[in-house]
Every structure is written in structure tokens, then in C-alpha cells.
Amino acid sequence: MGIQKTIAALCIWLLGQCVGAQPIYPQALPSPFQGTVPQNLAGGLTLASIEKRCQDCVPWREIAFQSLTEPVRKETVSVQDGYRAMYLFPGSQYFANVKVERSAAGQFEADREVIERALRHECQRKLINVEEFVAQKSAVREKLESIRMPGRPYLEVEQGEAHGIEYLACTENAIGLISSTISQVQLFIPAKRITVTAYLLKQQKMHFTTIQQFRELRDAFIDSYAAFLGAKD
């Protein structure tokens, strides 16, 4: 009897998963998110899935400011609603993990200030850690020099505008330097109170082999995503 109940519960759970896993298409997104999730981007990068932020999530998220000398400090940004979109190149794993989030009314500029400050802080923190580490490890430094983007620091923040859309990015200038996220990119759409956060990822089966190739793909991602947003803004 216990086995039958277990099987029945499993069947109900699986049915729920299947029912809850109905695909979401960009055209079906609610009005504030229309024109924020492209189907295709430069170089054959294609939308693989969209997932809605949970209905019962608190209307904010925390951003941690880490430090080696002080306790972790956290600040919050409002999130009225949001979606996660995953992108990949044909024959490869996910390249871009993208969050599209809408701030609460009257909160966009304050949220943006926290997001920008947090990204700059984290990028600088990681850069200092890497520089201090390689200063003591000559073998590691030599290896990194052979794969690092020539003339670039180990990590850097870059800010700019493309197609009328402002962006901010922190990029590791050597593949595999710290984490699976090689670059974090923020795109801002004030008119819709929307912030796009894109994590551009290292993969086991990569669409690129050098940091130069990755940066070309990153630049193409920023340009084509911004062009899409600018056309819809």
C-alpha cells in the first residue's frame, strides 16, 4: 500500500512538473516585458527557454558587497516582476544566462545605482585578489600571461552605450580566471524600469577557445541585445 501511495504521489508530481513546464514565448510576455527578450541574437545565439520569476517571491532581492577585511554588507533592490532567459549557440551549452527584472514604481534609479556600485565593487575586489595571488605565484602569473587578453588587466569594468541603451560590464580577461561567469553585463531601460543582467558563461563544449574570441562574442551580444532593446524602447 505504501508503494502504491508513493507511485501515485510521484505521478502527481510529474504531472505537475509537466503542466508547470509549459514553454513561454517572447510574444506572450506581459506588456512591460514586451520587446525585452529577443528570440535570436548575433552569431546564431538563440533563445532556449524563458522562466517567470516565482509568484510568491519577495518583491526585492539582496546584493552582497563582499570584503576581505569587513563583514559582508547587503543592500536590496526592488523587483516587481521578472523573467530568466537562457541562450545558447547551436551544438553548445548555455552561453548567456539572462535576468530581465522590473523595478517597483519610483525605484528604478535607486536600484540602478546599487546594481552599478555593486558590480564595480565586486570587479575591483576580484582584481585585487588576483593581483595579490599572482604576485606570490610566478608559475601562475606566467600561465595567465599566456592566455590573458594582451594589454588588459585581469578584470575590468567597461561602460558604454549602444543603440541608445546604456550598459556596464565586468569581464575576466582570461578564460577560467575565477568562475564560470566570464563577463557580467548590465543593460538599462529606464522608460520601462527594466534592468537586464546577463551572465556570459564558460562552457565544457565552448563556442570559443581564446579570450579574444570570447570578447568578440561578448561585444556582439551587447550590440545585438541593445539594438533589439533600442528598436523596441
pLDDT tens-digit readout, 3-31: 544 444 444 334 333 334 467 899 999 99
d(CA 132, CA 155): 13
Residue recorded with cell 562574442: 217
pLDDT at 55: 87
Q: If you write DSSP's letter for every residue of the chain in order, what string do you get?
A: -HHHHHHHHHHHHHHHHHHHT----GGGS-GGGTTSS-SB-GGG-EEEEEEEPPTTS-SEEEEEE--SSS--EEEEEE-SEEEEEEEE-TTS-EEEEEEEEEPPTT-HHHHHHHHHHHHHHHHHHHHHHHHHHHHH-HHHHHHHHHHSPTTS-SEEEEEEEETTEEEEEEEESSTTSSSSEEEEEEEEEGGGTEEEEEEEE--SS-S-SSHHHHHHHHHHHHHHHHHHHHHH-
Put residue 187 in one of left, alpha, beta given phi > 0 → left and psi -120 to 50 → alpha. beta
pLDDT at 23: 78
pTM: 0.88
Across the chain, what does the average pLDDT equal? 90
> How many C-beta atoms surround the C-beta of residue 124 within 10 A?
14
Contact (CB, 8 A) for 228 and 85: no
Check residue 51 and give left, alpha or beta (phi > 0: left; psi -120 to 50: alpha).
Answer: beta
Q: How many other C-beta atoms are found inside a 10 Å radius of the C-beta of residue 125? A: 15
- Tell me the three cell numbers of residue 176: 577560467
Residue 110 has pLDDT above 70, yes or no: yes
pLDDT digits (tens, 9 = 90+) for 70-98: 889 999 999 999 999 999 999 899 999 99
Residue range 37-60: average pLDDT? 96
